Amino acid sequence: MRLEGKIALITGGASGIGLATVQKFVREGAKVMIADIDLERARAAADAVSGEGFDGSVAAVGVDVSVYAEVEAAVARAVEHFGRLDVIFNNAGIAGGRPLLEHDPVKDYEPIIRVDQDGVYYGILAAGRQFRAQGTGGVIISTSSIYGEQAAELSFTYSAAKAAVISFTRSAAYELAPYGIRAVAITPGRVGTPIINQFSDDLKATFASEQLRDRMTEPSEIADVVAFLASDESNVINGTVVHVDDGYSVFKQRLDLPVF
Ligand SMILES: NC(=O)c1ccc[n+]([C@@H]2O[C@H](COP(=O)([O-])OP(=O)(O)OC[C@H]3O[C@@H](n4cnc5c(N)ncnc54)[C@H](O)[C@@H]3O)[C@@H](O)[C@H]2O)c1
């Protein structure tokens, strides 16, 4: 098993990509602390995964990743419960937006920056300190987005926060390498989770057409890559962005061009 004996903290682990990653990690031999703002859902997820034959492998803690003290406490809880920390997956995120010139900064800038940007910084800081104290090294994986590398509709703030995640990853990899710590960012494309499933079928079909397999990505497909990135098999991948976007970022749209 790829993650045998590893201890991981997964933020946003109660739903979507985070939950699929919790499931994948325990199947690969890891022990996982689910850290989510929705504690009830996080506990239910932990119970469900435990009930699938993984009793003792998963627990839950409430955290608002936009508050450093809470992230630090979640890391401490994982260490207290499982004895150590080897991997943090900074994945909790919120989306939403409106056209730039209609922004109310308090509603349309600050909350997304606090969760999607500050929350990842706090995860890197708290886990990095823990890894250094342990002297064991560690892996930091953070969820950016295709929007972290491009402009998009209603995405001014979200794109900025997701771009920061990529920058944090490069700098963290550089600064923390002497402690044996790796940092990697992933950029999902269109993944079938509540963030996207709220949209109409027509819009979802358009989203699917933006990817090379002409379908939405399953959360479990992202989780498969995250498990690889958390494992020692990917020790040479550091400070970089792994595009988990089914080709979204390599083309604009399929054109029905005549041969010429
Ligand atoms: N679904 C997609 O297509 C897609 C594409 C690119 C990037 N992403 C990113 O993937 C990550 C996971 O998203 P998802 O699609 O699985 O969404 P999701 O809504 O299913 O899951 C997000 C989880 O984060 C938790 N959360 C929200 N705010 C929090 C906070 N302040 N503190 C702690 N937990 C909090 C939620 O309770 C939820 O469990 C996000 O960072 C998102 O931006 C998603």
Q: Decide if 15 contacts 95 (C-beta within 8 A).
A: no
Q: Which atom of ligand 1 is nearest to the CA of 14?
A: 39
pLDDT digit string, tens, across residues 166-199: 999 999 999 999 999 999 999 999 999 988 889 9
Q: Which residues line ligand 1 (CB under 6 A)?
A: 11-12, 14-18, 36-38, 63-66, 91-95, 115, 143, 145, 188, 190-191, 193-196
Residues with a catalytic annotation lie at: 158
C-alpha 239 to ligand 1 mean position (Å):
22
C-alpha 178 to ligand 1 mean position (Å):
31
pLDDT tens for each residue of the chain, 260 residues long: 999 999 999 999 999 999 999 999 999 999 999 999 999 999 999 999 999 999 999 999 999 999 999 999 999 999 999 999 999 999 999 999 899 999 999 999 999 999 999 999 999 999 999 999 999 999 999 999 999 999 999 999 999 999 999 999 999 999 999 999 999 999 999 999 988 889 999 999 999 999 999 999 999 999 999 999 999 999 999 999 999 999 999 999 889 999 99
For the whole model, what pTM was predicted?
Answer: 0.98
pLDDT digit string, tens, across residues 66-100: 999 999 999 999 999 999 999 999 999 999 989 99
User: What number does CATH give the domain 7-243?
Assistant: 3.40.50.720
C-alpha 15 to ligand 1 mean position (Å):
7
* pLDDT score, position 197: 87
